[in-house]
Each structure stands twice: as C-alpha cells, then as structure tokens.
Amino acid sequence: MDFIFIIVIGALWGSFANVCIYRLPLDKGVVSGRSYCPKCKKKIIWYDNIPIISYLLIQGKCSKCKKKISIQYPAVELLSAFTFFITYYFYGITTTTLLLIILGLSFIIIFFIDLKHFIIPNSLTFPMMILGFIKSFDPNLNSLFPDYVNSLIGGVFGYGSIWSIIYFYKVVRNKEGMGLGDAKLLAVIGFWFGWIAIPFVIFSSSIVALISVLPSLVDKSKKLSSEIPFGPFIIIGCILFIIFKEQYKYILFG
C-alpha cells in the first residue's frame, strides 16, 4: 500500500510539473488559476485532469475542442510517479528521499522546458543551488551528498567549467556556444553532489548528446554547429552519476 500511495502522490506532483513546464516559459504564475486546454483555452474539469487515467479515458483529446493533447502530459506524470517510487524504494522515509524528490521534480521540469524552449529558468536553478548548499551543513545526510566545503567547491567548479567552455568558444569562433543556463544547471549539480560529480557529468552528458545527434549528423538534417538543448543531457549525466557513483569513486581513488 505504501508504494501505491507514493506512486499516486508522484503522479499528482507530475501534474503540477506539467503546469510549470507550460507556464514558466510564458512567465505565468504556476499556482494562479485552474488548468486549461492550451488549444481552446477552456478550463479543464477536475475529472478530466486526473493524472494518467484521464488521458486514457478521453483518448488523448480535449473533451471540449477534441484537439489532441500532447503525450508529454502523461509522460511527465509517469516519470514523476517513477521518480517518487524509485527514490522511496531505495531510501525509504528519510530526508534523503525528500531532497531527491525535490531535485527530481526540478530536473523533470527543466528537462522538458529546455527540450522545447532552449531555456533553463533561473526561477528553478537559483533555489536549487541554495537548497543544495544549505543541506550540506547537515552532518547526518546520506553519503551521496557532500559536506559544505565540497558543495561550495562543486558549485563554483560546475559553473566555471561551462563558463570557460562558453568563453573560449566565443574567443575561437566569435559566436555563442552553450548558454549560461547550462552553467547554472551544472552549478546546481556541483552544490548537490560536490566537485567530484562535475567531470563525470560533463563527460557522460557529452557522450550521450553525441550518440543522440549522430543519426541527424549522418543524414545531414543537423550540422555540428546546430543548436541543441544540452540541459537534458546534463540531467541524464547526473542520473548516471548517482547510479554509478561508487564505481566511479573506486576508479578514481581505488
């Protein structure tokens, strides 16, 4: 029963994440007003807004205008439910679970906003930097998290790494490369997981990004200079770090 409850709560928060994904890039309040269809602007009745279930019952179409609803909505709700489930499964009812759920929800919102709009809102990265640093003063946290010294170094190192790439790319190519949103996102990861996470995340996210765009480069639908949202790959790199942290530390330190 515990797991069912956690999954339901996760799906509900996924519904809120969808609101953030839609409204934040438009500078609209995420808690003001009921949800509405982005096509016909009609307010959504509560029973058409039950996470995942309503999408299936109304066959992925607005009950008013019958326009198709993006698959993103149930996907985000499922992803959120899975995040809640897997975190609770490994860490139980702990502060670590609460922190990782907050980080996970933020990552989901950032992932889909950057994927669609090529932006990473400061309203998400700045609070996550602050929370990542503040939590590092708790000596009883899971070993997944660093102390405040490593957290501070990680935040500066994370931001500085991407900023340096941006600076040198601009000097060499005389044009913008990556965005500062990516630098802030990597700073978030540094504050949360320490400096040790940064090289792993940069390397793994670059490899995943290269693999994902390789087919487009081969069929020439994209060029090496084409703009891609890098935030989602940084998030994937961070998830890989969390999964393989112990193996990574063993390789570095034996």
Domain parsing of the chain, residue ranges: 1-93, 121-254
User: Cβ(51)–Cβ(15) under 8 Å?
Assistant: yes
pLDDT reported for residue 202: 95
The angle that helices 148-173 and 122-135 make with each other, rounded to 10 degrees, is 140
* 19/1 Cα distance (integer angstroms): 28
Point out the least confidently predicted range of 38-42, 50-54, 187-191: 38-42
User: For the segment 188-236, what is each residue's pLDDT rounded down to a tens digit?
Assistant: 999 999 999 999 999 999 999 989 988 877 776 666 666 789 999 999 9
What average pLDDT does range 98-105 have in this prediction? 97
